[in-house]
Amino acid sequence: MNESTVSPPSPGAGCRSRRQVLRGAGLVAGAVAGGGVLVACAEGTGSDRSADEVSASAAGQAVVALDDVPVGGAVSAEVAGVPVLVTRPTEDEVHAFSAVCTHQGCTVTPGDGVLECPCHRSVFSLTDAAVQAGPAPEPLGEIAVEISGADVVVS
């Protein structure tokens, strides 16, 4: 496999199918002629709402039960119609981040101790969603949350 080849994303990962990409054959022709494989992801796969807007509009909303979030891991959830990731780096620490990748809008998923974009393999930190690897130019947007009783709640 040469360096210009990109592995295709997992099915349902928020990326366009080969058929959708090839429908724009006139635009694709130049890229394919270069010998690489083109994988196009839909921008804005999640909501176009910012993490700040979600935090403000969903204040007080329970996102997930604290016991459902593994220590050292993350779970996928939804807040105000926006896909989010709730992380729990330590027993008493929780965070929530937009699950919309800052690279091309694919949906980021929980990984093994990190957050991963299945489209182009960007990797984000559980603690602050900082980019650890990949083409993503910025961290994921943070949604303010806190532990309230047995739940993680938008604060």
Tens of pLDDT, residues 5-48 = 444 444 444 444 443 333 343 333 433 344 443 333 434 333 45
pLDDT at 42: 38
Q: Is the pTM of this model over 0.75?
A: no
For residue 27, give the 3-state DSSP assignment.
helix
- Output 72-77 pairs: Cβ under 8 A, ≥24 positions apart: 72/113, 72/126, 73/110, 73/113, 73/126, 74/110, 74/111, 74/115, 74/126, 75/110, 76/109, 76/110
pLDDT digits (tens, 9 = 90+) for 66-113: 999 999 999 999 998 899 999 999 999 999 999 999 999 999 999 999
Structural domains of the chain, ranges and CATH numbers in brackets: 51-154 (2.102.10.10)
DSSP state of 29: H
